[in-house]
Amino acid sequence: MIHAYQLNGYNIALDSNSGAVHLLDDTAYDCLALIDGDDFSPECPGHILQALAEQYAPEVIKEAYSDLFALYEAKTLFSEDTYAPFAEAMGPAPVKSMCLNVAHDCNLRCEYCFASQGDFGRGKKLMPFAVGRAAIDFMVKNSFGRRNLEVDFFGGEPLMNFGVVKRIVDYARSIEKEHKKNFRFTITTNGVLLNDAIIDYINKEMVNVVLSLDGRRDVNDNMRPSVNGKGSYDVIVPKYQSLVARRGGKQYYLRGTFTKENLDFSKDILHIYEDLGFDQVSVEPAVLAEDVPFSLRDEDFDAIAAEYERLADIVIAKKKAGEKLNFFHFQMELDGGPCAIKRLRGCSCGNEYVAVTPEGDIYPCHQFVGEDEWKMGNVLDGTLNAEMKQEFAKATVYSKQDCKNCWAKFYCSGGCNANNHQFNRSIYKPHRLSCELEKKRVECAIMIKVALL
Amino acid sequence: MKHVKTINNANLKESAHKGGCGECQASCQSACKTSCTVANQDCEKE
């Protein structure tokens, strides 16, 4: 499967099945559009010569055609899709990744919060240590031979229960060697409760920290007010700067959300980078029901796509100037990255990755929390719904009909199952706007690679 | 080649046969928590 597109003056062809990316001149690009990959003959067919006769000389067309045929022979153009048997063979896998909702409570009142301002509509609750310990034991047991186990402290706001976070970390560290495991901790915080002691602890124990900030002060404070209605920007920004300054180069992300109210979100990313000094940035589209006034809708696609293109130009200019600005969704390793098997199933929620509530209830991921029909077990009694796990395990890019023939399937891996369910009531039916935005980001990410050659 | 420049060494097919160790990070744990970009994740073996 080929995706050929023009962006920023470049003609780019992606061969989805091999992952090969080719930069084409105009003749080759126009020629490619006329080639049938199922009937690619060594000689340039007459109909192609005819169709392009007004634009190019016949010998030039034949030359371009022959270049493309060489790629075909090298299996980097129209290469065969051979992955379906791998996808079919996929089944339930060890549980090796957990989102621990240590606090169903929050000290901000973010307008777009999917967790009903922290309590997931179920009342405020903090996770007792006994539940956290049981979650760690559950993962050690259910991860079988997997060595690397991930725990993301999440909420609500996890710093509201930081004492328990530390006890859970200590407990996991105390048992990891005997079980031949390697725990990797991360935390996602709104920053309000950060202080020097917490910053030092996070910087020591957490391999990644996700710091929530939407960008410019007015944009952030519009969506992320505190309980008393005041904005959070002035409280959190100095704390984030202190954390990153003392982090010693370890991984972090300034993570924001954009809505219909800041479709010019490249300015927020630039603000985070240039004015505040953070070079690891992830700003993502809010996924909200269409009746929410600031939700992103299909009609916003063109504006968002144009903004991604503007952002791509900014990233190119910064990189060419020797600067380090990493935008999470433009990050792409064309020669490596995850293996094809990983790409068949993506986040693997409900299978390898689950979320645990303060009560110990297990859900496929943090976004399913609070929906009774998706409760799949509990860490205290060790239950896990095998049938539901199987349903998620089989959710691959080949079992999702819309993904099967999509050129971008090995980049998004079938999208977010929770979003699919939210909009289409099926984890197997991708959310269309999310798909279109993902495709745009992939196009930009590849184009950036080409521009920086 | 005069008309085409290949940007990378295609290796996805090869990775299907030697991949699938399951040790790498769940993509949703990295930075997003709401959407899914997998191609920017690191391979644990590299």
ipTM of this predicted structure = 0.94
Q: Provide the residue-wise pLDDT of chain A in tens; the chain has 453 residues.
A: 999 999 999 999 999 999 999 999 999 999 999 999 999 999 999 999 999 999 999 999 999 999 999 999 999 999 999 999 999 999 999 999 999 999 999 999 999 998 888 899 989 999 999 999 999 999 999 999 999 999 999 999 999 999 999 999 999 999 999 999 999 999 999 999 999 999 999 999 999 999 999 999 999 999 999 999 999 999 999 999 999 999 999 999 999 999 999 999 999 999 999 999 999 999 999 999 999 999 999 999 999 999 999 999 999 999 999 999 999 999 998 988 899 999 999 899 999 999 999 999 999 999 999 999 999 999 999 999 999 999 999 999 999 999 999 999 999 999 999 999 999 999 999 999 999 999 999 999 999 999 999
H or E element in which residue A84 lies: helix A84-88
d(CA A21, CA A39): 21
State the greatest distance between any 2 C-alpha atoms of chain A, in Å, as a whole number. Answer: 76
Contact list in B for residue A19 (CB cut-off 8 A) is: 8, 10-12
pLDDT given for residue B8 in this prediction = 94
d(CA A204, CA A208): 10
Q: Is A217 exposed, middle or buried (0-12, 13-18, 19+ CB in 10 A)?
A: middle
The set of residues, in sequence order, having a beta carbon less than 8 Å from that of A181 and lying 6+ positions away, is: A140, A143, A146, A147, A148, A149, A175
User: Counting every residue, how long is chain B?
Assistant: 46
In this predicted structure, the answer to whether residue B35 has a pLDDT above a threshold of 90 is no
pLDDT given for residue A400 in this prediction = 97
pLDDT given for residue A117 in this prediction = 85
Would the pTM count as exceeding 0.95? yes
In this predicted structure, the answer to whether residue B32 has a pLDDT above a threshold of 80 is no
Q: Å from B13 to nearest chain A CA?
A: 6
pLDDT given for residue B36 in this prediction = 67
Question: A361 is written with which tokens?
Answer: 């209830």
Q: Å from B27 to nearest chain A CA?
A: 5
- In DSSP notation, B10-40 reads --HHHHHHH-----SPPGGGTTTSSS---TT
pLDDT given for residue A336 in this prediction = 84
d(CA A296, CA B28): 21
Torsion angle of alpha carbons A430, A432, A437, A440, nearest 10°? 90
**Which positions 298-327 of A are in contact with B (Cβ < 8 Å)?**
none
In this predicted structure, the answer to whether residue B34 has a pLDDT above a threshold of 70 is no
Among chain A residues, the shortest Cα distance to B25 is held by: A150
Contact list in A for residue B28 (CB cut-off 8 A) is: 99, 347, 349, 353, 365, 416
Contact list in B for residue A396 (CB cut-off 8 A) is: none
pLDDT given for residue B45 in this prediction = 84
Contact list in A for residue B29 (CB cut-off 8 A) is: 97, 99, 150, 152, 186, 208, 353
- Selected for mutation to probe chain B from A339, A397, A442 (highest B CB count within 10 Å) is A339
- Using the Cβ of A341 and the Cβ atoms of chain B, whether some distance falls under 8 Å is answered with yes
pLDDT given for residue A425 in this prediction = 95
- Using the Cβ of A96 and the Cβ atoms of chain B, whether some distance falls under 8 Å is answered with yes
Which pLDDT band holds residue B18 (cuts at 50, 70, 90)?
A: confident
Among chain B residues, the shortest Cα distance to A286 is held by: B34
